[in-house]
Amino acid sequence: MQPQVVIITGASSGIGLACAYEFASRGAILSLAARNIDRLTEVQHELQAKGHQVLVTQTDVSLEADCAHLIEATMKAFGRIDVLINNAGISMRALFKDADLKVIRQLMDVNFWGTVYCTKHALPHLLASKGSVVGISSIAGYVGLPGRTGYSASKFAMHGFLESLRTENLKTGLHVLIAAPGFTASNIRKTALMADGTTQGNTPRQENKMMTAEEVAKHLYKAIEKRKRTLILTFVEGKLTVFLKKWMPSLLEKMAYNHMAKEPDSPFKKE
């Protein structure tokens, strides 16, 4: 990759943080965004000590003004934008009948509207550079997961938005990538919202058996470099799930129910 300017939201942890290190190692100029400015600043200092150009901006992507400021700050610092990675996101774990609607709204504000706001303000600059818009989605954007109604809804909405954006720009040179990493070892499950909006605190899954965020970042870099349309990682929880969704949806629903019901303290039980 030539010295391209790459914006990464949700860059203080997980996939976003791994992308920061991966893209920096490939020579990219970074504009990192997250709410945790202290952690971002630590990352900035570490990367700058290695000779990388890094801008950090405290950003809550659920606020359009913050997203607009992020884009403006990036343009002021570097004069162009080549890649926007919409990674910031939150999850949930509760049955819809029990969930406060503020939880659903918060997931839509961060996962969907955060992508829309950042993309809207970055789009003129990405069109000028014939750059890439990336949405870090999930298998939950292909399959409605039980106990994750708000999460699946936000990712389905992200998919529809990015697919429409791609079609609108078939002749402009804009590249749009929808990436579904599958279950990845990160803190997204620890910060997942419960029915009342409080954070879960503990992960219900064996994180050490999942794909690492660093592996995901390497796949993302290659997918952007090759200007792929979609990136689906992992076989059983990724590619096979998408296949079954298309050809055996009823079977997949039963499998998804049983799989999610096996989680410790699942909001519903396997029958």
Q: Which residues are catalytic?
A: 151
Burial track 86-105 (b if 16+ CB lie within 10 A, e otherwise): bbbbbbbbbebeebeeebbe
CA Rg, the chain, in Å?
Answer: 18
| Token reading at 172 | 């402009």
Element (H, E) at 258: helix 249-261
Q: Tell me which residue of 118, 127, 134 sits closest to 63, measured CA to CA.
A: 118
Q: DSSP letters of 10-33?
A: STTSHHHHHHHHHHHHTT-EEEEE
Paired residues of 56 in beta bridges? 32
**How many CA atoms lie less than 13 Å away from 174 in the CB half-sphere?**
23
C-alpha–C-alpha distance, residues 41 and 37, integer Å: 6
Query: Tokens 């954006």 identify what position?
Result: 165
Rounded Cα–Cα distance for residues 135 and 259 (Å): 26
CA contacts within 13 A on the Cβ side of 82: 14
Alpha-carbon distances, residue 161 vs 116, 132, 168 (angstroms) = 8, 15, 11
Helix, strand, coil percentages in the chain from 3-state DSSP, rounded to 5: 50, 15, 35
